[in-house]
Amino acid sequence: MNAVITVVGKDKVGIMAGVCVELHKLNVNILDISQTVLHNDIFTMNMLVDISKANVEYDKIVDSLSACGENLGVSIRIQREEIFDAMHKI
Amino acid sequence: MLNQREILETLSMIDNQHLDIRTITMGISLRDCAHPDAEICARKMYDKITRYAENLVKTGEDLEKEMGIPIINKRISVTPIAIAAESCETEDYSVFARAMDAAAKQCGVNFIGGFSALVQKGFTIGDRRLINSIPEALATTDFVCSSVNVGSTRAGINMDAVKLMGQIIKKTAHITRDNDGFGCAKLVVFCNAVEDNPFMAGAFHGVGEPECAINVGVSGPGVVYNALKGVKGESFDVVAETIKKTAFKITRMGQLMASEASKRLGAEFGIVDLSLAPTPATGDSVARILEEIGVEVCGTHGTTAALAMLNDAVKKGGVMASSHVGGLSGAFIPVSEDEGMIAAAEKGVLTLDKLEAMTCVCSVGLDMIAVPGDTTAETISAIIADEAAIGMINNKTTAVRIIPAPGKTVGDSIEMGGLLGTAPVMPVHNEGSADFINRGGRIPAPLNSLKN
């Protein structure tokens, strides 16, 4: 099952590293990444990930990622890919 | 991979524009709960509701977390109690309302609908008993919603029922007077009621429905409003197209959630209701959409046309996005639940008469309207009759949910809290309609050709 992770917050060193380490811990595989820094300040990243081999339940992934976001000072959320597909693809 | 713009658009809809699933409503048939003993019948109802809806709230919460989209309400609708309880040898049907209330609390839902009767052509014994039990039922329960269908395009209007409902609304207001007549906020009088409506207070599980079905109501006035801000000054062709595209996206999300929810709950996927349902929150208002389209204040000249276009475009966009569309499907204009409507009513621009005109072109009717506490039962009945006539002639659902707020008059307002909001007391005409209402009988079914 695929999910989309979005990370938004003030740019600083180590956001990408922090998120990737957390995903590694959860055994979540990264399929695609799109990342940019808006206005030289706002870090925005979308990741497509495969959560089918994750070592915890979905709601634990949600909790771990939002805790990780708090540590990094950014907002991280994960949503199933279907919701975006439903809205933007026919 | 999805592009970043699409992802951010969806997130912005959720975070800033109040995009949400307004309700996931589980419809449950209670037709097999009949028993001559009312206590046993009520227990069977309680057992069945709690068994079927045991996982409704949890499933809703799981879906919210996985999809990242809030589901505001999880609710239950049941077979009209006048049918399910008709074999019981009791006059007082409020016992079933209390069983429904207890079941709703056990399941963790915030409303349960179906304390209802369908009397468009006449009353059965159970219908009369149910209607007479409504005030007590609504006063002694927290979450039970009641509805009565008094007319239809095929049957005409049951004016005896219209008269009776005026009295029942007054009585309900009176016995819930300590809460500004709050009981009336849970009571709807319909013409052409639909069997698969997921929205309260008018939801019930119709007799043509399956054993158990999931019906979903989407929301999204904020999303439409925001989209329209991007096409300021453009022609109506552009406006309609923009609304259609937005409605499509909103409904696709509703369709996904509905099919996931029904799969997980082992229930049939019923319908997606394509309604624009406002909330009292700023930025989640249908009135503000109409104002964005160009009327200075909702209720002024042009409002009906703007609403007609909005309603139609929402349906056109939504219908392709869902495999089954149903319920009420249209823009809601509940006064107390819509920040822009409240403001327009307080200014005196939005009147009962204008609202009545607006109900000709949208769903549903005169909804969540507070009127002075000394409004007579006959006047309320006459308001119901007018609304029912619009529904009957135009082959659409119309409804009246009106609160004659005890001790209140024009200039006051009543607080209902939460999604039900604040209702400014609106003036009614003081000239009486008693002779009209006291005639009784039935208004015959209308002709369906020679339409002018």
d(CA B420, CA B338): 9
Domain of residue A41: give its range: 2-88
Domain CATH number, residue A54? 3.30.70.260
Among chain A residues, the shortest Cα distance to B251 is held by A87
Is the predicted pLDDT of residue B442 greater than 90, yes or no? yes
Residue B353 has pLDDT above 80, yes or no: yes
- The answer to whether the Cβ–Cβ distance between B68 and A59 falls below 8 Å is no
> What part of A 17-36 touches B (C-beta under 8 Å)?
31-32, 34, 36
Q: Is B5 on the interface with A (CB under 8 A)?
A: no
Q: pLDDT band at residue B1, thresholds of 50, 70 and 90? A: low
Reply yes or no on whether the pLDDT at B2 is more than 80.
Answer: no
| pTM of the complete model | 0.92
Q: Which of A29-43, B21-35, B142-156, B337-351 has the lowest mean pLDDT?
A: A29-43
Residue of B1, B66, B252 lying closest to A58 (CB–CB): B66
pLDDT at B333 over 80: yes
Question: CB of A11 within 8 Å of any CB in chain B?
Answer: no
Distance from CA of A67 to the nearest CA of B (A): 15
Tell me, yes or no, if B8 comes closer than 8 A to chain A by beta carbon.
Answer: yes
Give how far A87 is from chain B: nearest CA, Å. 5
Task: Please tell me the predicted confidence (pLDDT) of residue B419.
Answer: 80
ipTM associated with this complex: 0.82
Tens-digit pLDDT profile for residues B47-95:
999 999 999 999 999 999 999 999 999 999 999 999 999 999 999 999 9
CA dist B292 to B227, B234, B348, B352, Å?
A: 10, 12, 19, 22
Instruction: Kindly report, residue by residue over A28-72, the tens digit of the pLDDT.
Output: 999 999 998 888 888 999 999 999 999 999 999 999 999 999 999
* Distance of alpha carbon B332 from alpha carbon B42, whole angstroms: 33
Please report the pLDDT score of residue B418 as a whole number.
Answer: 80
Is A87–B253 a contact, with Cβ atoms under 8 angstroms apart? yes
- A61 close to A28: Cβ distance less than 8 angstroms: yes
Determine the Cα angle at B202 with ends B200 and B206, to 5°: 120
In whole angstroms, what is the distance from residue B105 CA to residue B93 CA? Answer: 19
Give how many domains chain A has, as a whole number: 1
**Tens digits of residue pLDDT in B108-128:** 999 999 999 999 999 999 999
Measured between CB atoms, does A81 come within 8 Å of chain B?
A: yes
Q: For residue A51, report the phi and psi dihedrals to the nearest 5 degrees.
A: -105, 10
Q: Do B1 and A34 touch (CB under 8 A)?
A: yes
DSSP structure string for B102-161: HHHHHHT-SEEEEEEEE-SS---HHHHHHHHHHHHHHHS-SSEEEEEEEEETTTEEEHHH
Q: Give B-chain residues touching A87 at CB under 8 angstroms.
A: 6, 10, 249, 252-253
DSSP B447: P
Band (B435; pLDDT cuts 50, 70, 90): very high
Report all structural domains of chain B as residue ranges with CATH numbers, in order of start: 26-191 (3.20.70.20), 216-438 (3.20.70.20)
Q: What percent of chain B has pLDDT over 70?
A: 100
Per-residue pLDDT, averaged over B422-450, amounts to: 94
- Residues of chain A contacting B220 with CB distance shorter than 8 Å: none
Cβ contact (<8 Å) for A79 and B67? Answer: yes
Beta carbons of A48 and B255 less than 8 Å apart: no
C-alpha closest to that of A89 among B2, B182, B341: B2
Decide if B67 and A34 are in contact by the 8 Å CB cutoff.
no
Residue A48 in contact with partner chain B when CB distance is under 8 A: yes
Q: What is the pLDDT of residue B426?
A: 96
CB contacts, 8 Å: A59 with chain B? 62, 65
Q: How far apart are CA B273 and CA B199, in angstroms?
A: 9
The pLDDT tens digits for B199-249 are 999 999 999 999 999 999 988 899 999 999 999 999 999 999 999 999 999
Q: A29 to chain B, minimum CA–CA distance in Å?
A: 15
Residue to test with chain B: of A5, A64, A74, A79, most B Cβ within 10 A = A79
Q: Which of B151, B46, B173 is nearest to B102 (CA)?
A: B46
